[in-house]
Amino acid sequence: MPLNRLIIKQFRNIEACDIELSTGFNFLIGPNGSGKTSVLEAIYLLGHGRSFKSSLTGRIITNECDELFVHGRFLNSDQFELPIGINKQRDGTTEVKISGQSGQKLAQLAQILPLQLIHTEGFELLTDGPKHRRSFIDWGVFHTEPAFYDAWGRFKRLNKQRNALLKTATSYRELSYWDQEMARLAENINAWRQQYVDELKNHAEQICQAFLPEFDIKVNYYRGWEKSTPYQSILEDNFVRDQALGYTFSGPNKADLKIKVNGTPVEDVLSRGQLKLMVCALRVAQGQHLTQKTGKQCIYLIDDFASELDGQRRKRLADCLKETKAQVFVSSITESQIADMHDNNGKMFHVEHGTIEQG
């Protein structure tokens, strides 16, 4: 669902902003520190309940103000408007409103607003630990498998309890009751992730190949424990090791997406620019897969990224996004940097000292 109106109040240097958006490309143009990233951050907050830059609410509320608001109006497939909003106070209190109803959960916002963020630090998806790639897989599973969110939450809570029990248990028998439930959840979580990656894999490899034709790219899923061994046996067989470590070593909390280029881990082969291109390709592939599978459109937030791609690749990215008819927000310092992404459907916004004007 595209956003057709965005209202921001007291968010970083944006005191007040109310803009009508294009359902296609929206360009945010302005000098350093003008508020371009803040607009993207506000949209991200609407979909995730948190910023992608700071975990501290106090940092994103405008200095000297007590609270912030972000409201969005979406157009659903029947062209009805769906208003959603988030309010955050300095003490961390968060209120979510959907269709005028208060007290809604953040996960509901995330369901309504599937977002893909592409920004300059984004290549940590490929170079940092598996946590980022697990989140990548789980974004897709969350939007395609309704039972995943609860199951994953329950697994993480049980895992925490198990780690505490490991420190005091004198025999495996003290854990076996809890492990049955943990194993059941782990098998489900794994099956959903495996199915998701199986479905995404070919498409993701193709798009990566289109962005980086000089490489042979392979994407594979790792479940977090030995294949073909039931998770229950992993827990039981490794009790002594886990106890010595003080935590459960194997499991869905260790799952990963293994990405290889010409048979070698990506970070050892690709340049920084190529890594960024691959992140772009993976995120576009994931958004396209979501649309094919569920009919849901995802919104792309592209921060300062186009400027780092050469003209040909910038155009390829824009064409890919236009093909999916996705709504896209692109920030850039100058208009010339986004000239090859612009078309008649796009809207241009000029950002200066926290003020956003269409023009």
* Contacted by 33, from Mg ion, ligand ATP, none: CB < 5 to 8 Å by type: ligand ATP
* Contacted by 116, from Mg ion, ligand ATP, none: CB < 5 to 8 Å by type: none
Based on the shown chain and the rule CB under 6 A, indicate whether residue 51 belongs to the binding site for ligand ATP: no
The answer to the question of whether 202 is labelled as a binding residue is: no
Based on the shown chain and the rule CB under 6 A, indicate whether residue 62 belongs to the binding site for ligand ATP: yes
- Cα separation, 16 vs 32, in Å, equals 19
Based on the shown chain and the rule CB under 6 A, indicate whether residue 304 belongs to the binding site for ligand ATP: yes
- x-or-dash pattern for ligand ATP, window 329-358, by CB under 6 A? ----x-----------------x-------
- Whole-number minimum distance, CB 37 to ligand ATP, in Å? 3
* Contacted by 34, from Mg ion, ligand ATP, none: CB < 5 to 8 Å by type: ligand ATP
Based on the shown chain and the rule CB under 6 A, indicate whether residue 13 belongs to the binding site for ligand ATP: yes
* Among the listed residues 2, 9, 29, 37, the single contact to ligand ATP using CB under 6 A: 37
* Among the listed residues 6, 8, 27, 34, the single contact to ligand ATP using CB under 6 A: 34
Yes or no: say if 313 and 302 are a contact pair by the CB < 8 Å rule. Answer: no
Based on the shown chain and the rule CB under 6 A, indicate whether residue 119 belongs to the binding site for ligand ATP: no
The answer to the question of whether 31 is labelled as a binding residue is: yes
Q: Which stretches of the chain are assigned E, i.e. beta strand? A: 3-11, 14-20, 25-29, 67-75, 81-89, 94-98, 115-119, 217-222, 256-261, 264-265, 299-303, 327-332, 347-352, 355-358
Give the range of 36-44, 111-119, 225-233, 275-283 binding ligand ATP by CB under 6 A. 36-44
Tokens of 266: 């990506």
* Among the listed residues 21, 25, 29, 30, the single contact to ligand ATP using CB under 6 A: 30
CA 4 to chain centre: 21
* Contacted by 72, from ligand ATP, Mg ion, none: CB < 5 to 8 Å by type: none
The answer to the question of whether 37 is labelled as a binding residue is: yes
Based on the shown chain and the rule CB under 6 A, indicate whether residue 9 belongs to the binding site for ligand ATP: no
Q: Identify the three-state secondary structure at position 335.
A: coil
Based on the shown chain and the rule CB under 6 A, indicate whether residue 57 belongs to the binding site for ligand ATP: no
- Whole-number minimum distance, CB 11 to Mg ion, in Å? 14
Give the range of 19-27, 54-62, 127-135, 238-246 binding ligand ATP by CB under 6 A. 54-62
Nearer to Mg ion, 84 or 115 (CB): 115
The answer to the question of whether 32 is labelled as a binding residue is: yes
Q: Which residues are annotated as a binding site?
A: 30-37
List interacting residues with ligand ATP (CB under 6 A): 12-13, 30, 32-38, 59, 61-63, 304, 333, 351
